[in-house]
Amino acid sequence: MTVSEFATSWIIAPTILPAITAAILILMRRSDIEVQRFLSVVSTLMLLGVALFLYDAVNDGVTQAYRLGAWPAPFGIVLVIDRLSTTMLVLTAGLALAVLLYAIAGWDRRGRHFHALFHFQLLGLNGAFLTGDLFNLFVFFEVMLIASYGLMLHGGGAKRLRAGFQYVAINLIASSLFLVAVGLIYGVTGTLNFADLAVKARAVSENDQALLQTGAILLLLVFAIKAAFVPLHWWLPATYAAASAPVAALFAIMTKVGAYAIVRIFGTVFGDGTEAETLGSVVAPWVVPAALVTLAVGTAGLLGTRRLLNFAAFSIVASMGTLLIAIGQFSIDGLTAALYYLVHSTIAGAALFLIVDLIAARRTVKLDALIPGNPISQAAILGTLFFLVAIAVVGLPPLSGFVGKLLVLDATYGVPRAWLIWATILVTSLMMTIAFARAGSTIFWKTEGQTTGPGWETAAIMPMVVVGLLVGASLMLAVFAGPAVKALHATAEQALDTQAYVRAVLGSRENTEPARPITEPAADADVMPVPPQEAGGD
């Protein structure tokens, strides 16, 4: 067995591992919390190892597919890895490990089945990144969302219940729209496999083009809800601010699933990396204007909010605006900048939620309210960490946010209305700097009275270490920006190469045959697919 074949057999592991772990954990007694923690950490470490192995396996630029049951695509379920999907797997596993180490300091005791729900969440996330089928993307979205409902309500409370109701309601609407879009696309093309869809979507007759475009626009709407596009962002600040800190930090990757889906569907499936008229080019004009408004609204939220948790939530909205500006270019340079900023913003957003939680836990009277209060214990180290996280989020040197925004500005240089994009990014960066300066000075400088919060002898050290590691990851992303950008540039090229994706999943035959309108039946249309076990192999 070659290295490539060995790696192919492991493609399913990022979904199987958390599924088995979650099933074991949910059967365990709640009192066995130490055993649950051990199993959860070990499983997450193994997941990170598998993700790194798969990332290395596709470093040669070859897309690999795993066909469940050995059924050939598009008849069977297929999981696909390339540089894009494995990058997301590594980011998810790394973030999950950091969040888990933070949670086991005490947050996991505040409700039932935290660790089981945590791994079901990882199952949904990893499945969404690996699937090569539109319907299974919907299925993994639902697994991810159902687990997130439980995690969001972890610990209970009226505030979480109220925010959870809004979260469930908006996602039920999104799921309904997703099913309608899937039905329209399947009705027109007769397939939901990404690679097969990339071929057949270009052969749809003119009479059915309107239906296909409607399905594509509905998909964009669904992904826009997941990615917190304005005006579909209103659920995010209330939900993230109400969730526990480690859950909100893990949710920093949730909005990125929507961004990933936009890239995968409208870059790989419905785009071909050229200026040809495709469904990707049809929806592209909607992305950048919405992203600019999202960035502006998120920044306004930072300036207007009076609570630190809402502050962190609005920073996620603002970062999604910047990210989607880059994605909206649907170019190699734009996607390179988007992927770098995606990694940065996930790390920085998670670190911000965690440092806010550490601060609020020490402000025993004012909690996370942005008003002057008592001095807090460990103010020096927490203030330093808050300052560094603020630099990363705003986009100031020397951390990765600065490099990320430079890449986005460079990718949009020379595009239509580039002046508007540049002005929006630069002005909002200034406003964000003001907002973070106001928040930091209020928390750490405008204080009086007795010091509150646990002393060094009782304070948990691991949460501070986790935040420090996330800040260090942002610094390393900036220090090694050259190799990172080179790798992500190759990732962007591969993600926009529709033909290579089709060849990897369907084989060369599907790609070399001339496209024919799907309204004309194929000569072998009445031949039923035969399982490869009977036909002599895949």
Which of 402, 403, 361 has the alpha carbon at shortest distance from 382? 361
pLDDT mean over 102-118: 88
Instruction: Read off the pLDDT band of 47 (50, 70, 90).
Output: very high
Q: Which two tokens stand for residue 357?
A: 């939680």
DSSP assignment letter at 478: H
- Collapsing DSSP to helix, strand or coil, 67 comes out as strand
Instruction: Read off the pLDDT band of 324 (50, 70, 90).
Output: very high
The β-bridge relationship of strands 78-81 and 64-67 is: antiparallel
Question: For residue 490, what is the enclosing H or E element?
Answer: helix 481-495
pLDDT in tens, 80-89: 999 999 999 9
Instruction: Read off the pLDDT band of 521 (50, 70, 90).
Output: very low
Residue 2: pLDDT over 70: no
Q: Per the omega criterion (within 30 degrees of 0), is the bond before 397 cis? A: no
Residues 376 and 453: their CA atoms lie apart, in Å, by 6
Mean pLDDT over all residues of the chain?
87
Q: Which two tokens stand for residue 434?
A: 């003001």
pLDDT mean over 141-160: 86
- Collapsing DSSP to helix, strand or coil, 424 comes out as helix
Among 53-57, 72-76, 280-284, the range scoring the smallest mean pLDDT is: 280-284
How far is residue 343 from each of residues 10, 191, 338, measured CA to CA in Å? 24, 32, 9
What pLDDT sits at residue 508? 55
pLDDT mean over 409-429: 93
What is the per-residue burial (b if ≥16 Cβ within 10 Å, else e) of 370-386?
Answer: beebbbbbbbeebbebb
Residues 194 and 130: their CA atoms lie apart, in Å, by 12
What is the per-residue burial (b if ≥16 Cβ within 10 Å, else e) of 459-481?
Answer: beeebbebbbbbbebbbebbeeb
368 vs 276 pLDDT, higher one? 368
pLDDT mean over 335-359: 96
Q: Which amino acid is at 412?
A: T
Q: Which amino acid is at 156?
A: G
pLDDT mean over 384-408: 95
pLDDT in tens, 285-295: 788 999 999 99
Residue position matching structure tokens 């009782």: 458
Residue 525: pLDDT over 50: no
What pLDDT sits at residue 5? 62
Which of 234, 271, 258, 416 has the alpha carbon at shortest distance from 338? 258
pLDDT in tens, 9-21: 899 999 999 999 9
Which of 55, 60, 63 has the alpha carbon at shortest distance from 503? 63
Residue 534: pLDDT over 80: no
Q: Which two tokens stand for residue 480?
A: 């090694």
What pLDDT sits at residue 282? 63
pTM of the model: 0.91
What residues are paired with 133 via a beta bridge?
A: 193
- Collapsing DSSP to helix, strand or coil, 281 comes out as helix
Q: 237 burial class (0-12, 13-18, 19+ CB within 10 angstroms)?
A: buried
What pLDDT sits at residue 278? 56
Residues 55 and 86: their CA atoms lie apart, in Å, by 5
What pLDDT sits at residue 160? 81
Residues 178 and 225: their CA atoms lie apart, in Å, by 11
Contact 344, 484 (CB under 8 A): no
pLDDT mean over 102-113: 86
Q: Of how many residues is the chain composed? A: 538
Residue 531: pLDDT over 50: no
* Distance from chain centroid for Cα 91: 9
Residues 493 and 332: their CA atoms lie apart, in Å, by 6
Instruction: Read off the pLDDT band of 91 (50, 70, 90).
Output: very high
Residues 428 and 295: their CA atoms lie apart, in Å, by 7
Per-position DSSP letters for 381-408, written without gaps between them: HHHHHHHHHHHHHHT-TTSHHHHHHHHH
What pLDDT sits at residue 279? 55
Which of 386, 228, 449, 410 has the alpha carbon at shortest distance from 319? 228
Contact 164, 150 (CB under 8 A): no
- As a whole-number percent, the residues of the chain with pLDDT over 70 amount to 90
What pLDDT sits at residue 1? 52
How far is residue 29 from each of residues 18, 24, 322, measured CA to CA in Å? 19, 10, 44
Residues 6+ apart with CB under 8 A from 530: none
Q: Which two tokens stand for residue 81?
A: 């890895």
Contact 83, 490 (CB under 8 A): yes
pLDDT in tens, 177-193: 999 999 999 999 999 99
Residues 152 and 240: their CA atoms lie apart, in Å, by 8
What is the per-residue burial (b if ≥16 Cβ within 10 Å, else e) of 426-435?
Answer: eebbebbbeb
Residues 279 and 59: their CA atoms lie apart, in Å, by 29
Residues 381 and 428: their CA atoms lie apart, in Å, by 28
Q: Which two tokens stand for residue 452?
A: 């509150």
Residue 468: pLDDT over 50: yes
Contact 292, 421 (CB under 8 A): yes
pLDDT in tens, 197-246: 999 988 888 888 889 889 988 999 999 998 888 888 888 888 898 888 99
